Amino acid sequence: MAIISFSELEKKCAEENKSIYEIALEEESVLSGDISDVIRLRVLEDLLAMKDAVRNGLVSEEKAVSGWCGDDCQKLVKSFAARQSLFGKVFEKITAYALATAEENLRMGRIVACPTAGSCGIVPSVIIAVAEEKKIPEYQQINGLLTAGIVGLIVSNKVQLAGAVAGCQAECGVASAMAAAALVQMLGGNTGEIINAAALALKNILGLTCDPVCGLVEVPCIKRNAFLAVHAVTAAELALCGVESKIPIDEIVDTLKITGQLMSPLLKETSLGGLAKTKTALELEKVLHSQNDRT
């Protein structure tokens, strides 16, 4: 029987005296017929691919088809080498890793959709940056990714994780909630704190639209990965301090779904509204079309 709500997940954790990641393993094991070690190995495969994407993205300056994007990560790497950021090393790594991954994605590099390709930088940047800076071993990173996975899965049982269905709140927003949960798990938080972190992250991105310029996964998608990765840290830190979401997460997920339904189709991955219809976006569209015709 699938877990369809966070209250059910919390109850199950309490009854069986298990962590969220253990329940995630259990559920996946029942579904796939694989033992938990095999599932952990598959998660490790994802984790290693995420690390590869960060490594590749950190050194590349190759531009994407639009000619607009692809060199922002390098700006961070160079600047932070010369000047420490206000928030320190973890912040520097998270923002750089998020951009590295998202830029790899747009130049057709190898990434892990988590939950989608457009939001692929958020979960990895938080897990990898914090693991490096806090010396968190690999098996705990896997526990973090398993925790992120079940958080995303429960949301996806209620609302399809696609910008075309519910806007960016269902892509980068859900990724941020997943990352927040992973982070609290890795830092030793309990079940309630993990779920609260996800709730706080999700609650504060409700209404985020999907309005990509020229229909490309570039503007505003790439930089949004860095913003929502840091957003996840805020949620995790608050949750670890004992701050609770007054609205329970299941009701937030319902709200996300309804907000997605209320959102105009013009703002749901059609590029017919929002940033995609700005003067500058329309000019770029013309340039791209002329390039497209030439090829």
Q: Which residues bind other proteins (CB under 8 A)?
A: 2, 4, 24, 27-28, 31-32, 39, 42-43, 45-46, 49, 64-66, 104-118, 120, 123, 145-146, 148-150, 152-153, 156-157, 160-162, 164, 178, 214-218, 271, 288, 292, 295
Question: In whole angstroms, what is the distance from residue 228 CA to residue 234 CA?
Answer: 10
In the complex, least distance from residue 82 CB atom to other proteins, rounded to whole angstroms: 30
In the complex, least distance from residue 85 CB atom to other proteins, rounded to whole angstroms: 27
In the complex, least distance from residue 22 CB atom to other proteins, rounded to whole angstroms: 13
- Write out the H or E segment, with its range, that includes residue 262: helix 249-262
Smaller CB separation from other proteins, 87 or 139: 139
Smaller CB separation from other proteins, 18 or 107: 107
Place of tokens 């209320």: 262
In the complex, least distance from residue 131 CB atom to other proteins, rounded to whole angstroms: 16
Smaller CB separation from other proteins, 279 or 294: 294
Smaller CB separation from other proteins, 63 or 237: 63
Q: What is the Cα 90 distance to its own chain's centre?
A: 17
Peptide bond just before 115 cis, omega within 30 deg: yes
In the complex, least distance from residue 63 CB atom to other proteins, rounded to whole angstroms: 13
Q: Are 18 and 196 in contact (CB under 8 A)?
A: no
DSSP 265: G
Nearest to residue 134, comparing CAs of 78, 98, 188?
188
Question: In whole angstroms, what is the distance from residue 200 CA to residue 220 CA?
Answer: 23
In the complex, least distance from residue 39 CB atom to other proteins, rounded to whole angstroms: 8
In the complex, least distance from residue 292 CB atom to other proteins, rounded to whole angstroms: 5
Q: Are 222 and 106 in contact (CB under 8 A)?
A: yes
Q: Catalogue the long-range contacts made by 153-157 (C-beta closer than 8 Å, 24 or more residues apart).
A: 153/24, 154/3, 154/4, 154/5, 154/6, 154/9, 154/253, 155/202, 155/253, 155/256, 156/115, 157/2, 157/4
Query: In the structure encoding, which two tokens stand for residue 153, read together?
Result: 């899965």
Smaller CB separation from other proteins, 54 or 64: 64
In the complex, least distance from residue 226 CB atom to other proteins, rounded to whole angstroms: 16
Smaller CB separation from other proteins, 193 or 269: 269
Smaller CB separation from other proteins, 6 or 91: 6
Smaller CB separation from other proteins, 128 or 162: 162
Q: Are 21 and 146 in contact (CB under 8 A)?
A: yes
Q: Are 225 and 121 in contact (CB under 8 A)?
A: yes
